[in-house]
Structure 1
Amino acid sequence: MKLRISLRSVSKALSTAASDATARIPLTTASKELASFLRDGASNITVLTGAGVSTDSAIPDYRGENGTYTLNPDYKPVFFQAFVALDEARHRYWARSFLGFPPIMTTEPNPTHYALAALQSPLSSLPAGPMQDTMDNQQPPRSGFIRNFITQNVDGLHQKAGAKNVTELHGTLHRVKCMSCGHEEDRSDFQQVLADLNPEWDDLLQSQSASRLYSRMNADGDVELKSPEQQQQQHQQISSKDKVLDYRTFQYPTCSCCGSGHYKPSVVFFGENIPVATKESTTQAILESNGLLVIGTSLATFSAFRLVKLAKDTGVPIAIVNLGQSRGDALANLRYDENSSLLLKAVAQELGLGDIPGVIKRKKRVMNVVGS
């Protein structure tokens, strides 16, 4: 199964959603309804998440108000076929990723991630709260409300917050894999290899204040770099002495195991097949669930939308929490146009789970970087 999405058709797809899908209801009402939805799931809810759950960690999404495609409609990701075939595409990707991975690595989960992890945890393992205090210590621990997570995100923040049974639909940024022999390495270790091969780029990354050229960090762990010509023009305007860097000079290694293969991040690129095992496991999770909770995604990619459609076709109740319209609004039993951190914290209180940790960071993260 390929990751299929027509970038030009996204707006059209979303505009066909039910016009009343984004009508807001009071937070207290929404939290009570969603808490009932979770209770009715009898500890067997599957959660499907997208980039919107990480925006409160200051990682931008794709199609929200400050999303990559919203602010830059001409943005073009690296496609799988180009990455495999073209040396220049690999230079471009690894230069962008080298500058964009450190913020992903240090980003912390937000209240949405922590609330979902708490909703999954057995109640006996939760911090003391109204529900926990009244439990009979002689009774066995009660299961949490969530059984499985399916996430389109590659940032690893669900796991960092303590979530279990997480299937990463589009892979992870935290590993790289040789396309020839399959050898895998930790992305943090690979970052150091890239730094050793590219000392000028590493000096820039470490200094941060070395340049006034700001690039945007995207949800897939890279940054939007300016061309050498754009850099030169800005340097002339501000009399900058910073060195102009061209991504075509960025070096990347061959595989340390087979010696000839090229590494690829363990993420599913546009145009790449989703692993069969991933497709099968996510399908099974939906079929065995008592409810599907969708959070922070427009469902523009078919790989995610098909799961919502499968739930609808098999009678699994669906609740959607997303700021703005989504492709699945017309299929949902419950629909909330609400910030997920605010709503899920309220749901946690409604269910007696106590205070939820985490900080909302709304400021866009920028990096002082140059490249092309």
Structure 2
Amino acid sequence: MTPQIDQLADFLDRHRNVLVLTGAGLSTASGIPGYRDEEGVRHGKPPIQGPEFRSSDALRRRYWARSMVGWPTLAQAAPNDGHVALARLEAAGHVGQMITQNVDGLHQRAGSARLIELHGNIHTVRCLACQRRQHRGALQQRLLRDNPALANVLARPLPDGDAQLEPEALHEFVVPACEVCGGVLQPDVVFFGDNIPAERTREALAWMDEADALLVVGSSLMVFSGFRFCKLAAEAGKPIAAVNAGKTRADELIGLKLALPAQQVLPAVAALLAA
């Protein structure tokens, strides 16, 4: 047990209502690739932009083809010890609420209850025309049926169910449409270039206002939607702790930082507090 783990346990024990903000670094131990290296630099090509996805047939073909190949990695991922420890800490009253930047649904599966998925949940797909929602797993069966040539293709997994698939493999790809109205289907997530729904933002900001401390887990905070919570906490004089293996955008605002894997730190902290 390191002194920093003792300090984090004390941090959670001393504060009445700790808000937790989690990011992709928490889910890498579940086999889901992260977006950035330890310096906070993003890997690979720029992400898909929401307005481009909705306006470009070619971009939707690329997205759904890569998603079809990459989906099994995300679908088979299970909560790791970090997710489970956070659920235990919440149940024991050491964590008040949780906001996640992740779209993988692993917090719910681990048992977390008071949770806002800031960027949505990729396990749901919605029609942009009639708003009908369906489970992503059911859509995968349609994708496999309509695109048998890609059914057994192997590609390097990328974050959030994406895969490194070459463009020449996409020419014949059949893009799924809504079975009710024929409308465009989109994963129920906030793409880059899109805004987080206003009601969700209001609720998340209200939780930050109510909290008396902030704990960041597995987020570089390079995206403003996460960084803003550190900024607000610091402006209000609320202490900030972080468990993140690499650099964060808010390092100068963080009072206690553990540059260690969350799946090791959080169970140890939960065990200390339970004792």
* Aligned partners of 1:60 and 1:68 also within 8 Å: no
Q: Which residue in 2 is equivalent to 1:11? A: none
Q: Which residue in 2 is equivalent to 1:110? A: 80
Distance 1:107 1:64, change over 3 A: same
Q: Which residue in 1 is equivalent to 2:123? A: 174
2:47 aligned with 1:63: no
Q: Which residue in 2 is equivalent to 1:31? A: 5
2:271 aligned with 1:301: no
CA RMSD of aligned residues (A): 1.8
* Aligned partners of 1:91 and 1:249 also within 8 Å: no
Q: Which residue in 2 is equivalent to 1:94? A: 64
Count of aligned positions: 275
Distance 1:165 1:37, change over 3 A: same
Distance 1:68 1:54, change over 3 A: farther
Q: Which one of the candidate residues 242, 260, 267 is aligned to 2:189?
A: 267
Q: Which residue in 2 is equivalent to 1:157? A: 106
- CA distance, structure 1, for counterparts of residue 165 and residue 143 of structure 2: 17
Give 1:109 shift: 1.1
Q: Which one of the candidate residues 1, 16, 20 is aligned to 1:47?
A: 20
Give 1:346 shift: 1.8
Q: Which one of the candidate residues 162, 170, 173 is aligned to 1:247?
A: 170
Instruction: Compare CA radii of gyration and give the structure with the larger one.
Output: 1
* Aligned partners of 1:88 and 1:248 also within 8 Å: no
Identity of aligned residues (%): 42
Per-residue CA deviation, residues 314-357 of structure 1 (Å, 9 max, x unaligned), is 2222111111110011111211211111211221221126xxxx
Q: Which one of the candidate residues 145, 151, 159 is aligned to 1:196?
A: 145
Q: Which residue in 2 is equivalent to 1:221? A: 161
Per-residue CA deviation, residues 146-198 of structure 1 (Å, 9 max, x unaligned), is 12110111111111111111111111110001111211111111111212221
- CA distance, structure 2, for counterparts of residue 69 and residue 305 of structure 1: 16
Give 1:67 shift: 8.9
Give 1:66 shift: 11
SS of structure 1 residue aligned to 2:159: coil
- CA distance, structure 1, for counterparts of residue 69 and residue 96 of structure 2: 36
Give 1:68 shift: 8.8
SS of structure 2 residue aligned to 1:254: coil
Question: Normalized against structure 2, the TM-score is what?
Answer: 0.95
Give 1:256 shift: 2.0
Give 1:219 shift: 1.9
Aligned AA for 2:164?
E
Aligned AA for 1:301?
V
Runs of 4+ in 1 over 6 A off after TM superposition: none
User: Which consecutive unaligned segments of at least 5 residues does structure 1 have?
Assistant: 1-26, 123-143, 206-213, 229-245, 354-372
Question: Normalized against structure 1, the TM-score is what?
Answer: 0.71
* Aligned partners of 2:242 and 2:254 also within 8 Å: yes
User: Which consecutive unaligned segments of at least 5 residues does structure 2 have?
Assistant: none
* Aligned partners of 1:318 and 1:331 also within 8 Å: yes
Q: Determine which structure has greater relative contact order: mean sequence separation of CA pairs < 8 Å that are 6+ residues apart, divided by chain length.
A: 1
SS of structure 1 residue aligned to 2:143: helix
Aligned AA for 1:96?
R
